[in-house]
Structure 1
Amino acid sequence: MSNNDTNIEKRSFEAFVNAIGSEIEQAQVRLISAANAQMLFHYWKMGNYILYHQNLQGWGSKVIKKLAQAIRFNYPEKKGYSVRNLAYMCQFARSYPLTVLRSFIETDAKLITPSVRKITDEIQSLNNASFTQEPLAQIQSSDNKEVAIMQEPLAQIQNVAQTVATVCRIPIEDIEKLFLASPVARINWASHVILLNSSLPLGVDYWYMKQSVEMGWSSNVLKMQIESKLFERQINSRKVNNFTATLPAPQSDLANYLLKDPYIFDLAGAKERADERDIEEQLVKHVTRYLLEMGNGFAFVARQKHFQIGDSDFYADLILYNIKLHAYVVVELKATPFKPEYAGQLNFYINVVDDKLRGENDNKTIGLLLCKGKDEIVAQYALTGYDQPIGISDYQLSKAVPESLKSALPSIEQVEEELTMLLDNEKNRQK
């Protein structure tokens, strides 16, 4: 066998091993996801079962405390059945009856291609809908009778699934399929607890659930996004842009959906009166947190990107690429309120990126101007007449990171390592 044949065989075997390794990794992800979904379904059944017997027997809320004690005594090896967690299970079941699960699945089908208008309409529809509780989950006023939980009723927990199916008048297999097909089954229990504690309208609850799935948020990140009112900033805010006039309908809808106003950046090391360069340095230094705030599908390309045009040198503040939009995004940062001339400067950089970086498979480059405040009427007038797509948003600098969230954020070393990797990848791509 020649050396060339040996090298070919070696490369073929390496490719085979890589394919096997990829399948193993994907299988592990699927197994973890399946286990999480089954645990959630179990919690949902438990919550429904408790609610049913509270109603049927006239038991009050004290039954949860007695049930937790009984489980701890009879099944000491079983974890996750504290008074607090059992109460959350009941709230979980009450919040997502079968009618809501069906509605979530139907909404998923309608929002395959998201836009602000479609999402707003569907969320409003969920908020306004009157969902009837199945008999299983109906809670009537109770007389708070104290009932001792003995081992016999505790042993009946094994009949939870059958009770749920009987009262709902649907085979348990069909109930399980319905539950697992809904977005409710796709986030972890800690995230559900945050949503339950947030008391959001049903449609907004659904939106955060979907964002958590799509963007892979941890429960801590979900909490941070709810506290920063991401829904209001991304969906409910009045956004200033010319996307409808400059982009085709599918892309203009998506670009408008991805735009936020205001953006909130955590810049722990920024000065009180930070200028554009200081803000850029902090954003790049904390690139992971920055891209998290930018939204789904954004990748870092360059900072202070140099372009030589004629005899002059120009430097674009930040250049990103959005995978969903298949387009470069030029970001200009201003440490002052919006001025009309800023739109002209950004339009210039969009033209340059379109000419120098945009490939034949890329869509039109989009510009995003971030200012420390704006007059919306002036900003909208300033965009009239430009052929390039430009969005204008405010930004806020947040320096305080709650202790409870610090563990969810990367260390400076991790961020610097990631930024180095991103820049190395960009260099290799340009070779």
Structure 2
Amino acid sequence: MSPVTGAELQLPEDYAALLEQLKQQVRTARLRARRSVNTELLSLYWTIGRTILDRQQQQGWGAKVIDRLAADLRAEFPDMTGLSRSNLHYMRALAEAWPEAQVVPQAVGQLPWGHVRTLLDAIDDQRTRDWYAAAAAEHGWSRAVLINQIKNRTHQRLGAAPSNFADRLPAADSDLARELARDPYVFDFLGLTGEVAERELEQALMDRLQDTLMELGRGFAFVGRQVPLDVDGDEFFIDLLFFHVEQLRYVVVELKVGKFAPEFAGKLGFYVSVVDDLIAKPQHNPTVGLLLCADRNERVVRYSLGNTAQPMAVSTYTYDTLPPAEQQALPAADEVAAALDTPVQVHGQQLSLAEHIERLEQQRSAAPPIA
């Protein structure tokens, strides 16, 4: 029987809405199923890792025993990926980094295995690992985004910009506002090198708006560029205006390609006051300003912020941390992550490229030296 088409059947008025509702329910159920599978898999990996760790400590298991264990497990479960020698070492590292048996309820337990491997590879300090695990779980970072956030040391930059928030906002609001301002901002995705004009920097940020919002942080929504402010017939223009949907406040951003000067704070303070008066609604929290400049004198910034009535922060930024040739040659973080996860056939066995590289390194290290 052929399916009934829309031309043959008079659909109810609410059919389209019902269809969308059911689609969403299917998507939600599939997502829950994937999360459930991931949770069980991570719990299994932790158990295997804990077992290996205990045997090494109690019985002195060496690398060859783990090699044999990996081979025997793959022979017993040929259709199951993830039982390679390198993965068993990651399982051991997982159990060592998170020794509690209830690893799944922790933030790391909500992450895919590729994310966990990234945390184990890229970070040595456990508190820092926990910070990125919690951030990745909360914000839903992809593996590529996680790699980029670690590379750019987001945990050290968050809330690091000098500001007058503590003196200009209530205590609870001040703590929230501080989270908005990183220092420095890393705009290496712009592809800029050398000195640029302010409009060129502004245009580059708009051309890569999604990346710009990612670097600004969760909750930022773009409102406009060169936003006009009419004050009794006199017109002024804000470089960039954002709204933070979680903190319910406008954020005025001014770009400067040179070193911070005290007059910059006065101009930004004026814009913050006007936005608070003419654009913000009564239910919104106070507008804050964010001045992005190429360099700053800390003492000059401190004096300037102390004499400014409006809440604002002063951050620096970078966009050419590598020479132009090296920037062009480097692949993006998502390309690297995707390449390492690419399946390859090796002697009839399917491995990820990362696992294949690991095996080649093991073979090379095990080979006798050339006389």
Query: TM-score scaled by structure 2?
Result: 0.81
**CA displacement at 1:225 relative to structure 2:** 1.4
**The one of 155, 166, 169 aligned to 1:231:** 155
Q: Aligned partners of 1:51, 1:240: CA distance in 2, in Å?
A: 45
Aligned counterparts, 1:359-398, within 5 A:
359-398=281-320
Q: Aligned partners of 1:291, 1:408: CA distance in 2, in Å?
A: 22
Could you tell me which residue of structure 1 aligns to residue 39 of structure 2? 37
Say yes or no: does 1:186 pair with 2:139.
no
Say yes or no: does 1:346 pair with 2:273.
no
Say yes or no: does 1:302 pair with 2:224.
yes
Q: Aligned partners of 1:179, 1:248: CA distance in 2, in Å?
A: 37
RMSD: 2.1
Could you tell me which residue of structure 2 aligns to residue 405 of structure 1? 333
The answer to whether the 8 Å contact 1:195/1:205 transfers is yes
Structure 1 pair 375/339, CA: closer, same or farther in 2 (3 Å)? same
Say yes or no: does 1:70 pair with 2:80.
no
The answer to whether the 8 Å contact 2:225/2:240 transfers is yes
Say yes or no: does 1:288 pair with 2:210.
yes
Say yes or no: does 1:322 pair with 2:244.
yes
**CA displacement at 1:387 relative to structure 2:** 2.5
**The one of 227, 251, 258 aligned to 2:180:** 258
Q: Aligned partners of 2:335, 2:230: CA distance in 1, in Å?
A: 43
Point out where structure 2 has 5 or more consecutive residues left out of the alignment.
Answer: 1-11, 338-371
Could you tell me which residue of structure 1 aligns to residue 138 of structure 2? 214
Say yes or no: does 1:47 pair with 2:63.
no
**The one of 347, 357, 376 aligned to 2:279:** 357
Number of matched residues? Answer: 321
Identity of aligned residues (%): 35
**CA displacement at 1:42 relative to structure 2:** 1.0
**Partner secondary structure for residue 341 of structure 1:** helix
In structure 1, give the amino acid aligned to 2:163.
N
Could you tell me which residue of structure 2 aligns to residue 127 of structure 1? none
Q: Aligned partners of 1:267, 1:202: CA distance in 2, in Å?
A: 29
**CA displacement at 1:339 relative to structure 2:** 0.3
In structure 2, give the amino acid aligned to 1:373.
D
**CA displacement at 1:52 relative to structure 2:** 2.4
Superimposed CA distance per residue, residues 112-156 of structure 1 (whole angstroms, 9 cap, x where no aligned partner): xxxxxxxxxxxxxxxxxxxxxxxxxxxxxxxxxxxxxxxxxxxxx
The answer to whether the 8 Å contact 1:48/1:90 transfers is yes
**The one of 81, 84, 87 aligned to 2:86:** 84
**CA displacement at 1:310 relative to structure 2:** 2.6
**Partner secondary structure for residue 141 of structure 2:** coil
**CA displacement at 1:349 relative to structure 2:** 1.0
Q: Aligned partners of 2:36, 2:192: CA distance in 1, in Å?
A: 43
Q: Which runs of 4+ in 1 moved over 6 A?
A: none
**Partner secondary structure for residue 387 of structure 1:** coil
Structure 1 pair 72/18, CA: closer, same or farther in 2 (3 Å)? closer
Higher helix proportion: 1
**CA displacement at 1:352 relative to structure 2:** 1.8
Q: Aligned partners of 1:66, 1:408: CA distance in 2, in Å?
A: 30
In structure 1, give the amino acid aligned to 2:266.
G
Q: Aligned partners of 2:34, 2:336: CA distance in 1, in Å?
A: 20
Structure 1 pair 357/252, CA: closer, same or farther in 2 (3 Å)? same
Q: Aligned partners of 2:98, 2:53: CA distance in 1, in Å?
A: 13
Q: Aligned partners of 1:72, 1:182: CA distance in 2, in Å?
A: 29
The answer to whether the 8 Å contact 1:267/1:283 transfers is no
Q: Aligned partners of 1:75, 1:180: CA distance in 2, in Å?
A: 24
Say yes or no: does 1:199 pair with 2:202.
no
**Partner secondary structure for residue 218 of structure 2:** coil
Identify which range, 261-270 or 15-24, moves more after superposition.
Answer: 15-24
Q: Aligned partners of 1:258, 1:269: CA distance in 2, in Å?
A: 24
Aligned counterparts, 1:329-340, within 5 A:
329-340=251-262
Superimposed CA distance per residue, residues 90-112 of structure 1 (whole angstroms, 9 cap, x where no aligned partner): 111111111xxxxxxxxxxxxxx
